[in-house]
Amino acid sequence: MVIDHIPVSALIRDEIQSALERRSLPHAVLFAGQDGGAQLPLALFAAKSLLCNKPIEGLACGVCSACMKVDKSIHPDLSLSFPVPASRETAENAIEEWREMMDSRSFLGLADWYEKLEAGDLKMNISAKEIHRIEKNIRYKSFEGVGKVLLIWLPEFLGGEGNKLLKSIEEPPPGTHIFLVTNEVNKILPTIISRCRVIRIPRPGPSALSSWLTGVKGFRETEAVNAVAVSEGNVNVALRQLEGENQLQIDRDFITWSRIAFSGDPAGVLDFIDEFLKAGDRESARNLFRFGLFYFNQVLLKKINVQQEGLRDELSASAGKMASFLSVSAIEQICESFEKYLVQIDRNASVKVLLTYATVQLGRDLRVALKRSRENARA
């Protein structure tokens, strides 16, 4: 992956790019993002640039043997460390699975990792034994003579053992960089954080993610918008949606759902819910609410005349109609309800009950807003 193909803001890209160009990247960097963000691809790109045989203005050339080896996670000067279940003891015993994962998914999420290792509800960690292994590794001389990188994915799994790494983080052996790539910076020991340059990497916003999915990954725009709407900026979730089978219906399902809700016809509502839940499960309902939140945010933008991006024609027309009679406060109220449903869906035993309630409530909100808007027009 070249740096322009990583979905991060230009600001972050420039910061890393110019540090690499000037060869001034600090020796200990904490790449801090959220699950499904671009922190891992970015850290790997930085590692590749440092180990590349023929860097171009400090950046990985992408084609030399060193770059290839980093891409395949087989470069002898790149030590990789990550959490594993106790039975594996060290990351070395799961490196094959890691390589397979990285082949297919460079935005690796913790859930994917659990699934890959078939870890179920086992506890994972980065153990004292693993720390001993990586400490030993970074003391070896560089094989290829260019430098060395230790990349620790999810250092939040170090727990208290992290203190054993402080000395190395503070003063790595010459020519060695230590990259920590976290999804939960608040779980990392403050003693570690204070010894690193922290680069915060927020998830890409809707329009950045949408243009990445179409421009870099080549998905069609309508598909990309659906994926963006349900992913909340989680690149991994967006990609999984696009690779799945029936996910791309969500915009149509949503339009149908909101029409039925608006009609208020009880039999129609129940029929829709039965049909909808037949095809899916809790995740489908979650996607419906996520899409709803995205959609009403677009309605809000339309209402306040902000240029909106990514809605295809049918949806854009529908959002325009909604904006014509919904007040700003009514839209905000609907968005708040959707946020509440998204919290409740993980707690609520019955998806059907929640979805029924949400349908009735949405219908009522829409009809009340329409009535008010007509009264205001007459007044």
Among residues 3, 67, 78, 124, the one that binds Zn ion under rule CB under 5 A: 67
Residues touching Zn ion, count (CB under 5 A): 4
Q: Identify which of residues 25 and 345 has a Cβ nearer to Zn ion in the complex.
A: 25
State the nearest-atom distance from the C-beta of 149 to Zn ion, in Å: 14
Q: Identify which of residues 1 and 360 has a Cβ nearer to Zn ion in the complex.
A: 1
CA distance 324 to 317: 11
Q: How many CB atoms lie within 10 A of CB 85?
A: 17
State the nearest-atom distance from the C-beta of 1 to Zn ion, in Å: 13
Among residues 1, 13, 15, 64, the one that binds Zn ion under rule CB under 5 A: 64
CA distance 199 to 147: 21
State the nearest-atom distance from the C-beta of 65 to Zn ion, in Å: 8
State the nearest-atom distance from the C-beta of 102 to Zn ion, in Å: 17
Q: Identify which of residues 53 and 90 has a Cβ nearer to Zn ion in the complex.
A: 53
Q: Identify which of residues 66 and 110 has a Cβ nearer to Zn ion in the complex.
A: 66
Q: How many CB atoms lie within 10 A of CB 290?
A: 21
H helices, E strands: number in the chain: 17, 7
Scan for tokens 């007040």, then name that residue.
Answer: 327
Q: Identify which of residues 59 and 110 has a Cβ nearer to Zn ion in the complex.
A: 59
**Which of the residues 176 through 195 are near Zn ion (CB under 5 A)?**
none
CA distances from 247 to 2, 226, 296 (A): 29, 8, 20
Q: Identify which of residues 46 and 369 has a Cβ nearer to Zn ion in the complex.
A: 46
Asked if residue 61 binds Zn ion (CB under 5 A), the reply is: yes
DSSP type of residue 183: S
For Zn ion, what does the binding mask look like between residues 39 and 58, x meaning CB under 5 A?
-------------x------
Asked if residue 238 binds Zn ion (CB under 5 A), the reply is: no
Reported as half-sphere exposure (CB side, CA atoms, 13 A), residue 318 has a value of: 17
State the nearest-atom distance from the C-beta of 20 to Zn ion, in Å: 12
State the nearest-atom distance from the C-beta of 228 to Zn ion, in Å: 32
State the nearest-atom distance from the C-beta of 69 to Zn ion, in Å: 9
Helix-strand-coil split of the chain, %, nearest 5:
65, 10, 30
Nearest to 359 by CA among 280, 277, 298: 277
CA distances from 326 to 109, 154, 289, 291 (A): 38, 44, 19, 18
Q: Identify which of residues 64 and 102 has a Cβ nearer to Zn ion in the complex.
A: 64
Residues in touch with Zn ion (CB under 5 A): 52, 61, 64, 67
